[in-house]
Structure 1
Amino acid sequence: MKRNLWAIVLSTVGFFMAQLLPVIMTAQHSLAAHKQDLANLSAADAAASWQGYVESVGEMLGGQNMFVKLAVIILAVTCGVSMFAYLHNRRKVDFYHSLPISRSRLFAVNYATGALCALVPYLVLHALSIVSACAMGFGEVVNASLIGVIASNVIFFFLLYAMAAVTTILCGNTVITLLLGLWVYFGPTLVTALWQGLKNMFFQTYVMDASMSSLLFGNKFAPLIQYFGLNGTKMYNWAVEPVYTMDYSAGLQEPSAIGLLIGYAVAAIVITALALFLFRIRKSERAGTALAFNPIKLPVKIIICVVMGTAFAEIFKMLVYESELWFWVGLVLGTVIFHCVVEIIYAFDFRAIFRKPLQLVIILAVLCAGLLTMQADVFGYDKWLPDEGSIAAAAPMGYVGESALLSEPENIAAARQLAALGVESLNNTDENAQKECITVTFKLKNGKVKSRSYELPGTDEVFTLKKQIYQSAEYKQKACSLFALGEVNEGYHRNIVFYTNGDGYNGVGTLSDSQKAQEIIDTLKAETLTHTGDAMPVL
């Protein structure tokens, strides 16, 4: 650690700027604002605003502080690379590996050094931040949840640190290490986005059953991205994948991330063990090469060519007005370019651009064959229909919470029949036919949730099936916001505000009598269940 004082100084400065300073600045600003509130507002309003100031300090001290997460990521990568960067220098490798110390012990010393250089300053400055918050009058933000925040940051540090160590050991050049590290950290997210784009392009019934943000944050193989979706031991509701697992009727509560953190802690241990194994078998003479292990060269090249070729294809398609022709042009061009780039990097020679053309042809042929298979829907994605006995719940809509799925057998059968009619209409090329889009979501008994989007013909059968579902009591109770009204908290009461069509959003009257308001709500609920599509509700 004496030889790596720069890492200790960098960590101390980094966490001072990311943790301690934001807490002190936010607390000082909050105290100044609260002083003005006491002079200008009533005692009740000042007390309410004070709670907002307390929450702001709590955010800087807790898992919502993005500056700390950035510092953890930067230091994990920096320390992971620097502690093993000597492997890329032939003279240093000869010196260190000539010392009378085993490879395992040398690895342990380097690994522990990098971890201590980053984590000790973090823990010290986090403790100072807690002391500062208490000293400035914000002691109520200090609670047991901070233990989870610290544990989360430490787990993600070790995971990202271990990944950086593995990439450094795999490579024989620091620049190549950083490039491979970018691929390891962000590659899974890119693959997720490309896969969604391909399904959207080739499958007629594809519907994105979650927001893109939740799909990206839901990729467990991209911990660096996943890190920003966590608030200590909780997950932000917008980072939950998929969206339909969230019960909106219960409020947007943050689900627990303890299981995810345990999984990442185990992954950190496994990756550390892998780093130790690779460190022990790595040949010293591989210093200065692109990759230190020849067997992984071809798999790495195949992955890069396939992913980047697909990325080029989708970019070209978007640039030229959704042109399918330019999709295939971009696919070929991207695959060829990155095959050449990888060969140049492997050989450190521009003349290697023309090497191994057979591998390029095979990679391109397999990639094209795979995409053509998707385009022809060989595996029947669009024609998929679940067996009625395997369906636990269903709904003729997408983007729904589990509380909105229908479980009565009649509604399940009707929803599946709508999907069957949608499959039958896939090959209907009559542009003049009356059609309407509908998304059907199925929750299967094995726990999986799948959605499909169909263009249904405007037939009497379709109208009857939809009416059967929409007029059912189960659908009304789950889809109508009237039935989602919860209990009124103590000290509050519910008003009913009346509007007219002529006045738009201007209320023309308010009913504040709680008993009468509840009577109206109960009456509306009862009449909603008996209301049919050919009758006009009074209110």
Structure 2
Amino acid sequence: MQSKIFLVNKEIRKTIMRSIGWVAIVHFLGLIFAVPLEILMTTTGEQRQYIRAESLFYFHFEIQAVLNIGIPVILAVFLFRYLQVKPYSDFMHSLPIKRDRLFHQYALTGMILLILPVLLIAIIISALYIPLNLSEFITWADIFKWLGITIMFNLLVFLAGVFTGMISGISAVQGILTYIFLLLPMGLLVLLAYNLPFYLYGFADRYVMESKVESFSPLVALSQVDYRPLGAIEIIVYCLLIFILYGVSLWVYKNRRLEAVTQSLVFPLLKPIFKYGMTFCTMLLGGLYFGIMEGNTTWLIAGYVIGAILGYFVAEMVLQKSWRIIIHIKELIIYAGAMALLVILFQFDFTQFEKKVPNLSEVERIHLSENYFMYNDANDPFFLTSAENMDLIRRLHKEIVANKNQNKNRVNDSSDHAFFVYELKNGKKLVRDYMIDKKEYAHFYKLIHESEEYKRVTNGIFKVNEEQIEKISIHPYGPTQKKAVIVDPEDLKEAIAVLKDEINTATYEETIDNRDPHAFIEIMQKNDKTVGLEWRISYKKFEEWLDKKGLLEQAKVTAADISYAYIVDTNDLQINYAQGYSYEELFEQMSKIGRSIKVTDKNRLEESLLNASGFHDGPYMIGYYYKADGSIDIKSFSGEHIPDFVQQYFN
């Protein structure tokens, strides 16, 4: 004779399948459409030749991501719906079955219903593998990798939903809290990273944001898994979280008060955490927005105040389940006092973050550039290792720190970045990023940039094996189809030698010249690697060499390529920078301005080409009309590079 407990368990399983079985069916049908059907359609048609699949996530990844993010949460909400409805909760907990057994039945059934559709899809793909010759695109390992990663994310998101269901008494709140819970670590890190530069001088927020912060949120990591493979540590951490969330959810469920049904948060301890956590996050968001948009302390503080009040009100509405809430002024005052104290503590720099400059004996090598992309995005970022250069960089760093207030007051749109990365002998890194006016520190930059070591590590031409060079192509800047090509072995060696000499003798002032280079030089090697560099205005020896070889006319834009040009005062132009503008519209406007210069003289055109800059921030603008196809190019003159005839006309 069957026991009552067995019959209860059997009925519970039936109830679960009747109530949430449809979720598994929707999951399966969605995956069928996203992967096997898409594979069948693309690999049996003309599209087959265009498939560039690196994994199974290549096929309708957007649909897969939505299913992997949405289905587990929907399943968790509907599966544990009985915890949020009082009559249902009372009935389920009156049955002759322990809470832990009840939890295991629901949670494990949900996990099985998540795994089965994914497993079936993997079996279907495996069945299609040989008939459709899928080995051209994916391997068997790719199928198992897709299966494992998909199941892992499904279980992680599902158990996050189960955990929030244990601490919440409202289904809607459970769903929202699940996504907040999964996004919170990364979101908080992002907000802190972007706010800390306001308080820690030199904090490299952009460097932190590029340091795999997406790993801190399973949802973000899942949304990028088609092009950013997961690391071994990430997988281990996510798998551990699955077990941890299961165990914690069980413990919370066993200690949950049944009468807390319909409450936003069932544990009183969580209410202040939620309230002040939301207040803190929205405060950071408000400060970030106003601090970046307006760029001054007054608006930064205003952003914090507005964000904190907004977050506090929203949190109270969620907790009190009404927009007609009771405001606790005392709580806001205590919170404001705590935040003010935190800001004051930052001013003392107890950790010596701002003043920390490593001793030369601690440093292995140093990277110094004006952009963190030159370190983060480079395949082989450059470093300086000579004692002389490292000492210069340390002295530059110390002077920047000493001039903290002066540097902050001079920050504007034309400010430069000074990005430092110290790689220490103990394996650690010290990274700092400052906004400065480089002109104030030109004496340091000149010595560093003119050093032989700096020129060698920052110019790829010094790493080129001359015997491996296949050809050199010179592409002039501007709307022209001209191109000079060097293929003769002796000419290649001579060109490389001249370019190296130009780089070695170039001064710092010449390297920061804001005038447009003549052309882009592309050095193609036999191993398919390419090294590029610019033909700067100061490279006169290279220009003479090209002229001697009869290549100069094709290597750069000359007056012979220009039909005529208009020069106008920038203030006379009506430019809508917000909506954008075309060169053709701007040129037509130039042609109609009465106070303008129409240049047709070849000497003046050459002088204009030599002194113009592609940045449209100079006091005078020039528009070129090209002979070949009527193309338009717009540039400007500024500073000491304004031609004399332009100065004389407008003054």
TM above 0.5, one fold? yes
**Residue of structure 2 equivalent to 1:469:** 448
Distance 1:415 1:99 in 2: 73
**Residue of structure 1 equivalent to 2:471:** 495
The structure with higher relative contact order (CA 8 Å, sep 6+) is 1
Distance 1:431 1:273 in 2: 54
Is the 1:496–1:517 Cα contact (8 Å) retained in structure 2?
Answer: no
The structural deviation recorded for 1:304 is 0.9
Is the 2:55–2:146 Cα contact (8 Å) retained in structure 1?
Answer: no
2:434 is equivalent to residue 453 of structure 1 = yes
The DSSP-based 3-state class of the residue aligned with 1:495 is: strand
**Residue of structure 1 equivalent to 2:389:** 411
Is the 2:486–2:492 Cα contact (8 Å) retained in structure 1?
Answer: no
Deviation track 1:328-372 (CA, whole Å, cap 9, x = no partner) reads 334233323432333343233555423x43222211221233245
Match of 2:158 among 157, 161, 176: 161
Match of 2:316 among 335, 343, 350: 343
Q: Structure 1 stretch 436-445 or stretch 295-304: which is displaced more? A: 436-445
Q: Which consecutive unaligned segments of at least 5 residues does structure 2 have? A: 1-15, 509-537, 543-651
The structural deviation recorded for 1:209 is 3.9
Distance 1:139 1:486 in 2: 38
Distance 2:67 2:83 in 1: 25
The DSSP-based 3-state class of the residue aligned with 1:70 is: helix
Q: Structure 1 stretch 196-205 or stretch 163-172: which is displaced more? A: 196-205
Match of 2:266 among 292, 301, 306: 292
Match of 2:238 among 264, 273, 276: 264
Kindly tell me the number of residue pairs found equivalent between the two proteins. 486
The DSSP-based 3-state class of the residue aligned with 1:452 is: strand
Q: How large is the Cα RMSD of the aligned pairs?
A: 3.6
Pairing of 1:122-161 with structure 2 (within 5 A):
122-132=118-128, 134-143=130-139, 144-161=141-158
Pairing of 1:39-54 with structure 2 (within 5 A):
50=49, 53-54=50-51
The DSSP-based 3-state class of the residue aligned with 1:302 is: helix
Match of 1:121 among 100, 117, 141: 117
Match of 1:507 among 483, 491, 513: 483
Q: Structure 1's 146 and 522: CA in aligned 2 closer, same or farther, altered over 3 A?
A: farther
The DSSP-based 3-state class of the residue aligned with 1:95 is: helix
Distance 1:276 1:264 in 2: 18
**Residue of structure 1 equivalent to 2:35:** 19
2:257 is equivalent to residue 279 of structure 1 = no
Distance 1:521 1:282 in 2: 78
> Which residue identity is paired with 1:333?
I
Deviation track 1:127-164 (CA, whole Å, cap 9, x = no partner) reads 32343354334332231233222222221222111111
Q: Structure 1's 499 and 436: CA in aligned 2 closer, same or farther, altered over 3 A?
A: closer
TM-score (norm 2): 0.66
**Residue of structure 2 equivalent to 1:230:** 225
Is the 1:172–1:292 Cα contact (8 Å) retained in structure 2?
Answer: yes
**Residue of structure 1 equivalent to 2:607:** none
Distance 1:258 1:224 in 2: 17
Q: Which consecutive unaligned segments of at least 5 residues does structure 1 have? A: 35-49, 237-253
Distance 2:415 2:220 in 1: 40
The DSSP-based 3-state class of the residue aligned with 1:99 is: coil
Q: Structure 1's 435 and 278: CA in aligned 2 closer, same or farther, altered over 3 A?
A: closer
TM-score (norm 1): 0.78
Deviation track 1:218-272 (CA, whole Å, cap 9, x = no partner) reads 24331111222334xxx62xxxxxxxxxxxxxxxxx7x61221111111211121
**Residue of structure 2 equivalent to 1:111:** 107
> Which residue identity is paired with 1:270?
I
Higher helix share: 1
Taking only the aligned residue pairs, the percentage that are identical comes to 18
Is the 1:312–1:331 Cα contact (8 Å) retained in structure 2?
Answer: yes
Is the 2:193–2:208 Cα contact (8 Å) retained in structure 1?
Answer: no
> Which residue identity is paired with 1:386?
P
Deviation track 1:79-117 (CA, whole Å, cap 9, x = no partner) reads 222222211111222222222222222212111111121
The structural deviation recorded for 1:463 is 4.6
> Which residue identity is paired with 2:96?
P
Distance 1:292 1:109 in 2: 22
The structural deviation recorded for 1:121 is 0.9
- Between structure 1 and structure 2, the one with the greater Rg is 2
The structural deviation recorded for 1:382 is 3.9
The structural deviation recorded for 1:485 is 5.0
The DSSP-based 3-state class of the residue aligned with 1:440 is: strand
The structural deviation recorded for 1:450 is 0.5
> Which residue identity is paired with 2:219?
L
> Which residue identity is paired with 1:290?
S
Q: Structure 1's 291 and 476: CA in aligned 2 closer, same or farther, altered over 3 A?
A: same
**Residue of structure 2 equivalent to 1:97:** 93
The DSSP-based 3-state class of the residue aligned with 1:327 is: helix
The structural deviation recorded for 1:173 is 1.0
Distance 1:314 1:106 in 2: 46
Distance 2:164 2:146 in 1: 27
The structural deviation recorded for 1:202 is 4.3
Higher strand share: 2
Is the 1:406–1:412 Cα contact (8 Å) retained in structure 2?
Answer: yes
2:308 is equivalent to residue 363 of structure 1 = no
Is the 1:19–1:67 Cα contact (8 Å) retained in structure 2?
Answer: no
Match of 1:2 among 5, 11, 17: 17
The DSSP-based 3-state class of the residue aligned with 2:27 is: helix
Distance 2:471 2:436 in 1: 42
Q: Structure 1 stretch 446-455 or stretch 91-100: which is displaced more? A: 446-455
Q: Structure 1's 311 and 448: CA in aligned 2 closer, same or farther, altered over 3 A?
A: same
Q: Structure 1's 145 and 78: CA in aligned 2 closer, same or farther, altered over 3 A?
A: same
